[in-house]
Each structure stands twice: as structure tokens, then as C-alpha cells.
Amino acid sequence: MTLRALIFDVDGTLAETEEAHRAAFNNTFAKWGLDWHWSQSDYRTLLKVTGGKERIKAFQSSLAGARLTDEQIAQMHKEKTARYGEILASGLLELRPGVAALIDTARRAGVKLAVATTTNTPNVEALCQCCWNAPATDVFDHIAAGDMVAQKKPAPDVYLLALQQLNLPADHCIAFEDSLNGLRSAHDAKLRVLMTASAYTDDEDHSAAQWQAPSLMAQHLPMELSEALRC
């Protein structure tokens, strides 16, 4: 296996972030005086829609009554992003098992590291500050985020952007994902995918992936990947 880069999704893949996102949404709804409250069950369904603003719109479309404008939704989402950053700044979020070691191993092996995520750049920054105590650009060589592309996952745009940033062909890279939308996005960019289901995606069918693993711990990695990362 020729391996020159690892490309990571963020939410659910690097860390189980969705409960922090859900809390940030609910806090922001309350601040806006709305009686909206997303339960875990609600949020599992809403996660089928990629993107925070898009998720708010999808939820609102199921309700009767007045509608928030696109401008209001954008402002609400901006405030939600700030609240998410505050939650992560508390330092309670941890990386999923194996993530830190895999990234360290790849770095020592001279393998490039990138992010391809539907979330926005400030959220990537907040996670890296929380979990690595470092700027995102100190952890990853390139960041391709949802606020940089025209279409979010399951469209391949964000992975295509990551490949462009890396200046590498897809067959020299592996994508790491936790969701079906992410799997479809990576596959449409011609990437091989290692799936590690998260708490909110463990009911999805990931059988189309090249590999599936319960975590990114060394003992769960496919042999081809482990061999490719040996210094």
C-alpha cells in the first residue's frame, strides 16, 4: 500500500463531539427564547442532515408557525458555534481511543495529516485546542472544512478540497469516517475508507467501507495500514 496521507473527519471520528454540539444547540435555542429542545433521539435523526444551519432549517420545516429567516439562522448558528467553543474550552472532551497515537505514528512515518469535515473551521480549532492544547495547523497539515466548499457531505467537495490541498491522488490516501454520509462523500472522491462508528452512527450500514474497526487503537487497525505506517 502506497500511503502518503491520512484524512480525518472530525465530529464522531476524532472525538465523540455530538453531545457537546447538542448542548450548544439547546443552549442557543433557549437564549433565543425558543421552546426547541433536541433530545438524543431527535439529534440522531437530525444528524442525517449535514451542517448545523441545514439541521436547523430541517427541524424548523417540521414545525408549524413563524419561520426564522436565513439571516437569523446564520446568526443563531454563529452563536451556537461560540457556545460549542466555550463547552470545549472547559477541557472535558477527550479524543477517541487510538486517535492521538495514530496521528503521532503517522507524523513519525512522514505521512501527511489532513481534516475533511462538514463542521466549520472554528469548531476544528476548538477541538484541537481542547484535545491537543495546540492550534489546528500544528496538528494537521491541511484543513478542509464545510465553510470552504459549495456542498457538504455526502457530496465529495470537502474531500476533493483536501486532496487538492495535499496535492496527492486519492489512491495514496485513506479517509477516516464514522458516518454513512461521510463514507459516501469519501467514496465519491475515490478514497479508501476506514469506518469507526460513533455513538450516533452505530445503527448505520457501513459495509461498503474498505475497512471497519471498533476504534483507531493499534490492535484494531487493518494490517495493511499498520504496515504502511511502520517507520
Instruction: Single out the residue in 64, 90, 116 at which a domain terminates.
Output: 90
| Amino acid identity at 71 | E
26, three cell numbers? 439547546
Provide the domain limits for residue 66: 18-90
**Residues 114, 206 within the same domain:** yes
Q: How many domains does the chain have?
A: 2
Distance separating alpha carbons of residues 149 and 166, to the nearest angstrom: 16
Phi, psi (rounded to 5 degrees) for 172: -105, 10
**Residues 10, 108 within the same domain:** yes
Contact 193/209 with Cβ under 8 angstroms? yes
Q: How many CB atoms lie within 10 A of CB 90?
A: 9
The domain that contains 72 carries what CATH number? 1.10.150.240
- The model carries a pTM of 0.93
**Residues 79, 101 within the same domain:** no
Distance separating alpha carbons of residues 15 and 87, to the nearest angstrom: 14
**Residues 81, 161 within the same domain:** no
**Residues 118, 221 within the same domain:** yes
The domain that contains 179 carries what CATH number? 3.40.50.1000
Which residues sit opposite 95 in a β-bridge?
15
pLDDT of residue 230: 83
Distance separating alpha carbons of residues 211 and 225, to the nearest angstrom: 10
154, three cell numbers? 455526502
Distance separating alpha carbons of residues 154 and 193, to the nearest angstrom: 14
Q: What is the pLDDT of residues 141-170, one digit of tens each?
A: 999 999 999 999 999 999 999 999 999 999
Phi, psi (rounded to 5 degrees) for 93: -80, 140
Contact 179/9 with Cβ under 8 angstroms? yes
Instruction: Single out the residue in 90, 114, 136 at which a domain terminates.
Output: 90
Q: What is the pLDDT of residues 115-150, one digit of tens each?
A: 999 999 999 999 999 999 999 999 999 999 999 999
Q: What is the pLDDT of residues 204-216, one digit of tens each?
A: 999 999 999 999 9
Q: Which residues contact residue 110 at a Cβ distance below 8 angstroms, ignoring those fewer than 6 apart?
A: none
Catalytic residues, by residue number, are 9, 11
**Residues 118, 223 within the same domain:** yes
Instruction: Single out the residue in 48, 65, 90 at which a domain terminates.
Output: 90
Q: Which of the four pLDDT bands, split at 50, 70 and 90, describes residue 73?
A: very high
Q: Which of the four pLDDT bands, split at 50, 70 and 90, describes residue 1?
A: confident
Q: Does position 231 have pLDDT exceeding 60, yes or no? A: no
